[in-house]
Chains A and B, each alone.
Chain A
């Protein structure tokens, strides 16, 4: 049982480049989330999708876009990467949006030079 799968695991980009982080879950969960984690800052919500077909901004959405491709997949796109976006990105899913336990992927470690 894979759970939540994120690709890639590591990525180095140059400032201004674009890329898409992929996330897929096989637990038939309705809700999916993208977080970034920086030292001493905890987990900060970037975007979430409460259900298929909907997306909403979280705490730190600037510089990012998301797509809920289907029930399984939720991607995060950086259109023009900036050094401030160097971080560890986690995707998570839960059965519903109403305070249910979240299952996290292994993360993508992204460095922007």
Chain B
């Protein structure tokens, strides 16, 4: 159990285009999902917290108009990188926290990540 998927696993795009990354919890409902960014050989940097049915909460320094987050259902959150530039190239990882009250473990389970390369 507790499987989180991400799609696509990698993407290459041209500068100025937008890219959408999907994060799905496959076998549990996730009220809360998180989006992280990881640079090579570094730790995870939290970008935003996404709650189902409400606006995402962005960490300081993260541009909300550039990184659009939508959490439309209890199993799906999307991150759209708008007008991508080469400096947006990174490894983007989502996590899903299982919903309280369902025998949940209150643990974040991570997706496999999406490697974005902007040319």
Do chains A and B interact in one complex? no
Chain A positions within 8 Å of B, measured between CB atoms, are none
Chain B positions within 8 Å of A, measured between CB atoms, are none
